[in-house]
Amino acid sequence: MKIIRTANYEEMSLKAAEIMIDRIRNNPEITLGLATGSTPRGVYQKLIKDHVQNHTSYKKVKTINLDEYMGISEDDPNSYHYFMKTELLDHIDIPTAQTHLPDGRAEDLHAECANYENNIQSIGGIDLQLLGIGENGHIGFNEPGTPFDILTHPVKLEEDTRQANARFFNSIDEVPTHAVTMGIGTIMASKEIILLASGANKAKAMSLLINGAIHESVPATALRNHNNFTIIADEEALKLV
Ligand code: F6R
């Protein structure tokens, strides 16, 4: 585990974008595992800026997202499909067919999870996975108690995760109760993993991630067993470390 400590959110975003751009330029056919949420927004803005200014190309890049809510349509502004389109994918030259998110409206969710997992395998796995972290230590929507070897699966969201995500919705009642997520086993199979964290609300989770026991009660601690895992986090997020 490598830790890159940055002064603030801006510097965290810049550092992560620099690493991602380096990997994309070295491997133009790279498969990127991507996250949604507040944390990676700044990174995506920097990737777009670099694409416009320096013409880094995504024509052969593939993207695989971590998760999607269950039961909301792709056009819903709160869906992760919509987030990815508006925050990144519509602004770079990646063909839509090369971008993947779980279908949260699939009739047979278990079949959708198996398909998603097979799809990741068939394109040769994830080269670089970008992650955020939940205040309870979740990664993707793998909540505390999730087995470390689980693959893509449907999940019931914890109430504190729904509360934390309610800021994106009109009210807590609109926050979906379930989601589809890559499993910890899926994430761990990525060749390289970068986890981002910013702000004091992540300090407890980051302290447990870095110094706590490796245990299913804090899903992110599984990452300490990965041989190419980098944390990029700001001072506030690392203030208890
Ligand atoms: C998002 C995801 C989640 C978030 C985490 C942090 O695709 O899988 O695990 O990374 O909930 O969210 P933010 O960045 O909004 O604090």
User: Could you read off the pLDDT of 95-122 as tens digits, one per residue?
Assistant: 999 999 999 999 899 999 999 999 999 9
Q: Give me the pLDDT at residue 93, please.
A: 98
Pocket test residue of 39, 43, 180 for ligand 1, highest count of atoms within 8 A of CB: 39
Give the pLDDT mean for 138-157.
96
Task: Report the alpha-carbon distance of residue 113 to residue 196 in Å, rounded.
Answer: 25
Q: Give me the pLDDT at residue 168, please.
A: 87
Give the pLDDT mean for 79-102.
98
Task: Report the alpha-carbon distance of residue 196 to residue 203 in Å, rounded.
Answer: 12
Q: Give me the pLDDT at residue 161, please.
A: 87
Q: Give me the pLDDT at residue 124, please.
A: 95
139 in ligand 1 pocket by Cβ < 6 Å?
yes
Q: Is the pLDDT of residue 9 over 90?
A: yes
State the helix-helix crossing angle for 41-54 and 9-26, rounded to 10 degrees: 50
Res. 189 pLDDT band, cuts 50 70 90: very high
- Considering only 85-99, 104-118, 180-194, 213-227, which range has the smallest mean pLDDT? 104-118
Task: Report the alpha-carbon distance of residue 176 to residue 72 in Å, rounded.
Answer: 8
33 in ligand 1 pocket by Cβ < 6 Å?
no
Task: Report the alpha-carbon distance of residue 107 to residue 51 in Å, rounded.
Answer: 37
The interface predicted TM-score of the complex, written ipTM, equals: 0.99
Q: What are the tokens at 98?
A: 């090369």
- What are the residues facing 5 on neighbouring strands? 233
Atom of ligand 1 nearest to the CA of 65: 7
Give the pLDDT mean for 193-215.
98
Q: β-strands 229-234, 192-197: how paired?
A: parallel
Q: Is the pLDDT of residue 222 over 90?
A: yes
132 in ligand 1 pocket by Cβ < 6 Å?
yes
CA-wise closest residue to 68 among 102, 97, 43, 36: 102
State in Å: Cα 133 to ligand 1 middle: 6
Atom of ligand 1 nearest to the CA of 202: 16
Percent of the chain with pLDDT strictly greater than 90? 94
Atom of ligand 1 nearest to the CA of 37: 15
Res. 160 pLDDT band, cuts 50 70 90: confident
Global pTM reads 0.97
Q: Give me the pLDDT at residue 43, please.
A: 99
Give the pLDDT mean for 207-226.
98
Domains of the chain: 2-234 (3.40.50.1360)
* Mean pLDDT computed over every residue of the chain: 96
